[in-house]
A and B are shown apart, each in its own frame.
Chain A
């Protein structure tokens, strides 16, 4: 039974990875960070920014949790952070914390729905 559950999770993760590879090819996508308690998968156009982006991704989830707890908004579904030119979409999917970095013009709602 345990093995079946693990296999299912692995399959789901594989499917998610495939989706992310497709998303990464889309125009305006800067890259993504997919993390769970055991593994992390990072794919960014600019590898020199891996650490900064990883820290930002992690902080976004921490901030989301802190704020939703303080304001009693329930568990975090997704976080969207926008700057002048860049957007960060962070969400939980299949026990993973996923952060996708993109240019501001990308439709993050569409991405978010495709990953649910």
Chain B
């Protein structure tokens, strides 16, 4: 699900919520980094941007007492509730008649549930069904061989991004890069059934990059009973 799909899904959700709660005048969501994700159909972009600009100014000045979790403005004709949900802010503008329990339900139950549901919808669409990779062995020899295997950065990044659907959904919603967590260990299995868990780092040999290869210290390769050119199955350890 890409960012546009999320925006459409959230926009639809907010529009439906507004139908259910007639005292809700405007609702929209924006990220901590000032990107407006979605608003229901009635709220125009200028309105959202003006509210966002005012809030950003307040957020900056409020740093002296911490990060804003919520903001409630009571006006003579209506109220505004702004709530932090995960890394986003939900803005609800309501009439004076809106029941506080309904606002609480929207900010603490409905929208968080929708976001959670999106995460679960996202999971089956992961591009890789398995994180396991079949890689060709190359050996590292010499005094500085160390005890860590070396794998292409692209594969390491792919694993980390696949491993965390929450990070992926956040990246899709916010449009921010999905910065991978570091993978420190991998599980290696040979076709004869020998296995081991060992440290991993990025490959430092430019000639090996992009060739689906794993560089294994000679001592470790011997203990796994494999040699250069053999195939092994490798998967990351969380």
Residue positions of A touching B, CB distance < 8 A: 49, 52-53, 55-56, 59-60, 62-64, 66-68, 70-86, 88, 101
| Residue ID in chain B nearest A86 by CB atoms | B65
Cβ of B64: which chain A residues have Cβ within 8 Å of it?
49, 52-53, 56
The reply to whether the CB of B103 lies closer than 8 angstroms to some CB of chain A is: no
B73 touching A64 by the CB < 8 A rule? yes
**Docked pose: A52 CA to B62 CA in angstroms:** 9
- Chief secondary structure at chain A's binding surface: mixed
A-contact bits for B71-106, CB 8 A (1 contact / 0 none): 111111111100000000000010000000000000
The reply to whether the CB of B66 lies closer than 8 angstroms to some CB of chain A is: yes
Select the residue from A52, A71, A86, A101 with max chain B CB neighbours within 10 A.
A71
B51 touching A67 by the CB < 8 A rule? yes
Other A-B pairs beyond A52-B64, A63-B58, A75-B76, 10, CB < 8 Å: A67-B80, A71-B93, A72-B78, A77-B75, A79-B71, A81-B72, A83-B66, A84-B66, A86-B66, A88-B62
Q: A73-B73, A82-B70 are in contact. Are A63 and B57 (CB under 8 A)?
A: yes
12 examples of A-B residue contacts, CB within 8 angstroms: A56-B65, A59-B58, A59-B62, A63-B58, A70-B54, A71-B26, A71-B80, A73-B78, A79-B74, A81-B68, A82-B71, A84-B66
Query: Chain B: interface residue count, which band?
Result: 20 to 34
**Docked pose: A105 CA to B186 CA in angstroms:** 47
A68 touching B73 by the CB < 8 A rule? yes
Measured between C-beta atoms, what is the minimum distance from A93 to chain B in Å?
Answer: 13
| Residue ID in chain B nearest A89 by CB atoms | B72
A71 touching B65 by the CB < 8 A rule? no
The reply to whether the CB of B25 lies closer than 8 angstroms to some CB of chain A is: yes
Measured between C-beta atoms, what is the minimum distance from B147 to chain A in Å?
Answer: 43
A67 touching B66 by the CB < 8 A rule? no
Measured between C-beta atoms, what is the minimum distance from A83 to chain B in Å?
Answer: 3
**Docked pose: A92 CA to B69 CA in angstroms:** 23
B57 touching A84 by the CB < 8 A rule? no
Cβ of A83: which chain B residues have Cβ within 8 Å of it?
62, 65-69
**Docked pose: A73 CA to B80 CA in angstroms:** 8
